[in-house]
Chain A
């Protein structure tokens, strides 16, 4: 039997490689600060991966880079470094490694880390990441869609859900100023293949839920990053339930 190409490692490396334009954009916008934070988060994640690999045989994965970039990009500038280290550790260990590594859990480590950080520092202002980064995310989105790692229905449904709520609630927000963070979160956190629903219809529901919740939270005057983080956290928690419901309905239909 021949081995296919879309194994755990191959998918992980494609995701990591797709981050390159995003990292370039981030460094161009935020300068040396971004490099430092990225290095710190990456180091902490690598350390935890080595510990779990060594003690429990949990496979290491290059997708830790997504978590590192998410933190470096979206964490508030005034957050002390030890808080970031704590948040990354919590996210990577509780969100991913204790389940057996990337692919066995049901949440994305980046989302758990950012949620932790945002609960720890409720008053901090999460930076808005602007249009330049949204442009940098576009090639990454193309790569991930072309390789079939990100599901198009999730992206479309979340955009649709978000747009619908925005149109209904019409909050006064400068969407352009936050588009970079939103685009990054949509591609890497909402559409994370591991954290999203897996049935075809479930993907639409999941994406719509995440997008609509983001819009609702944004309308209730939360920051863009916080909105998308908590919306995705909630949607990811519901994703297995959505799948289960759809499978049950389909099984019943098939029997008739």
Chain B
């Protein structure tokens, strides 16, 4: 079915990537960040200096030990950083290009065997459950599964080009994912030919329009809104590809396709690189002259980081704003901190910034003042951080709505 998304904002930026996949540059090291796994209390399974193969577990969840995060490359554990309250900050792995681990492929695909395979390979944590955006419990099943096979964030890769690299793997991945749910599997894609085979369980849904037309939050709100008690899982197309590769070859693919783009990149293009790759390695010789900000992720929801973060398939390089010279004597120095955050003005840009059909300004206000009860009534349960990134941008970026939403979701989840 075709859905035209009339709202949304076109953010015009120079440096859109050339939609052609080029091979990987030299990969030095990769990292996994503990903070990228909300709701997981990491228990590290390796020590510094250990040799590790691509696909071997690096750490697991203390509360749900069957959920483990695996190494995206083979190599040596370079550094394990532990932060405040003994929580894992990051694990850095130095790549040596050795062969990946080969997993035993299940003889027949059932829900149990597929779950076991996804848990073992570390693909399971790529599933995100709504409401609340956590990694789903092994053994549970959703009412519907959403495969997002499109990207509309500024400067992102065209999913169709990426999937054209291995169409059989994607088809195999989709076929396998049907085991996970008794409900529908929605494959949400852009215009063009079907990216998967339709049957009684798999549905193709086409979305077109400016961002956030490609966000799973938008799709779920249109196709399977989270009414009381419904649970939906979402998964991105690159993980489905990886699942297909595992089912075909027995080992994880060592690279994903990443968009290297933005006004600061000399030759913006798509590039093959492992998950968690060090951005300095990736960008060596790629930048134009001048001061740059390197963001892992898009300009909307990305963040500055030394390594590519989880669920980021693009690196955005933008010109760094020149820091203003600090004025010694401001005209009105008192209370300059109290001015921020400035109040939100309900412009049309803000009204168009939300994918799901929710009242954006009341939601913004409720989240800003920490009114969890009202935010829940307005539909915050069905949202995740990524859904609000455009609204934060449209309102001037004074308030990080995603962080406020996460706080509200934590309260709602604790009360539930």
Report whether chain A binds chain B.
yes
Which residues of A are interface residues toward B (Cβ below 8 A)? Answer: 1-12, 50, 53-59, 100-104, 147-149, 151, 193-194, 198-200, 243, 246-247, 250-251, 254-255
State the CA gap A72–B362 with chains docked (Å).
34
Q: Are A6 and B335 touching (Cβ within 8 A)?
A: no
A9 touches B338 (CB 8 A): no
State which of B228, B335, B344, B348 has its C-beta within 8 Å of the C-beta of A149: B348
How far, in Å, is B292 (CB) from chain A's closest CB?
Answer: 13
Q: Tell whether A10 pairs with B396 under 8 Å between CB atoms, given A2-B318, A103-B344, A200-B351.
A: yes
B320 to chain A, nearest CB (A): 11
Which residues does chain B contribute within 8 Å of A2, judged by CB atoms? 299-300, 318, 393, 397
Q: Is the CB of B395 within 8 A of A100?
A: no
Does B396 contact A243, Cβ atoms closer than 8 Å?
Answer: no
- Alpha-carbon distance between A206 and B245 when the two chains are bound, in angstroms: 56
The one of A101, A148, A255 that contacts B228, using a Cβ cutoff of 8 Å? A255
Bound-complex Cα distance A251 to B98 (A): 55
CB neighbours of B225 from chain A (8 A): 254
A100 touches B343 (CB 8 A): yes
* Per-position binary interface string of chain B over residues 331-356, scored 1 when its CB falls under 8 Å from any chain A CB and 0 otherwise: 01011111100111111111100000
Pick the contact of A103: B295, B299, B301, B345 (CB < 8 A).
Answer: B345
State A100–B335 Cα separation when bound (angstroms): 13
Q: Which residues of B contact A58 (CB under 8 A)?
A: 339
Chain B residues 359-416 with CB under 8 Å of chain A are 359, 361-362, 377-379, 389, 392-398, 400
Contact A1 B339 (CB under 8 A): no
A243's partner among B332, B335, B359, B397 (CB-CB below 8 A) is B359
B250 interface contact, C-beta 8 A: no
Q: Does B299 lie within 8 Å of A1, measured CB to CB?
A: yes
B342 to chain A, nearest CB (A): 4
- Minimum C-beta distance from A167 to chain B (A): 30
For residue B303, CB closer than 8 A to chain A, the reply is yes
CB-based closest 4 A-B pairs:
A7-B396, A57-B338, A57-B335, A103-B343
Q: Of A6, A12, A57, A104, which one neighbours B349 at CB under 8 angstroms?
A: A6
Contacts of B361 in A (CB 8 A): 198-199
B302 part of interface (Cβ distance < 8 Å): yes
Contacting pair B335 A56 (CB below 8 A) = yes
Q: Which residue of B lies closest to A104 (CB)?
A: B343
One of A7, A53, A198, A250 near B395 (C-beta < 8 A): A7
Q: B380 to chain A: closest CB distance in Å?
A: 12
Q: How far is the CA of A147 from the CA of B349 in the complex (A)?
A: 9
Q: Which of A1, A11, A199 contacts B400 (CB 8 A)?
A: A1
**15 A-B pairs whose Cβ atoms sit less than 8 Å apart in the complex:** A1-B295, A1-B302, A2-B299, A8-B396, A11-B345, A54-B332, A57-B334, A57-B337, A57-B338, A102-B343, A104-B343, A148-B347, A149-B347, A247-B377, A255-B227
B398 touches A57 (CB 8 A): no
Which of A7, A11, A53, A255 sits near B335, CB closer than 8 Å? A53
Which residue from chain B places its CB closest to the CB of A202 in the assembled complex? B359
- Residue ID in chain A nearest B318 by CB atoms: A2
**Contact flag A4-B227 (CB < 8 Å), given A57-B335, A149-B348, A193-B347:** no
CB distance A7 to B334 under 8 Å? no
* Chain B neighbourhood of A246, CB < 8 A: 359
Query: CA separation between A147 and B396, bound complex, in Å?
Result: 14
Q: In the complex, what distance in Å separates the CA atom of A255 from the CA atom of B295?
A: 39
A11 contacts across to B, CB distance below 8 A: 345, 347
If A1-B300, A149-B347, A254-B227 touch, does A6 touch B362 (CB 8 Å cutoff)?
no
Name the distance in Å between B398's Cβ and chain A's nearest Cβ. 6
A59 lies within 8 A of B359 (CB):
no
Separation of A251 and B361 alpha carbons in the complex (Å): 15
Contacts of B303 in A (CB 8 A): 1
User: Which residue of A has the minimal Cβ distance to B303?
Assistant: A1
Q: Are B332 and A6 in contact (CB under 8 A)?
A: no
Bound form: Cα–Cα A50–B397 in Å: 25
Enumerate chain B residues within 8 angstroms of A4, measured Cβ to Cβ.
Answer: 349, 392-397
Q: How near does chain A come to B180, taking the closest CB pair, in angstroms?
A: 27
Q: How far is the CA of A247 from the CA of B379 in the complex (A)?
A: 10
Residues of B within 8 A of A12 (CB): 345
Q: How far is the CA of A59 from the CA of B303 in the complex (A)?
A: 28
When distances are taken between beta carbons in the complex, the residues of chain B under 8 Å from A148 are 347-349
Question: Do the beta carbons of B394 and A6 come within 8 Å of each other?
Answer: yes
Tell whether, in the assembled complex, residue B350 and residue A7 are in contact, meaning their CB atoms are under 8 Å apart.
no
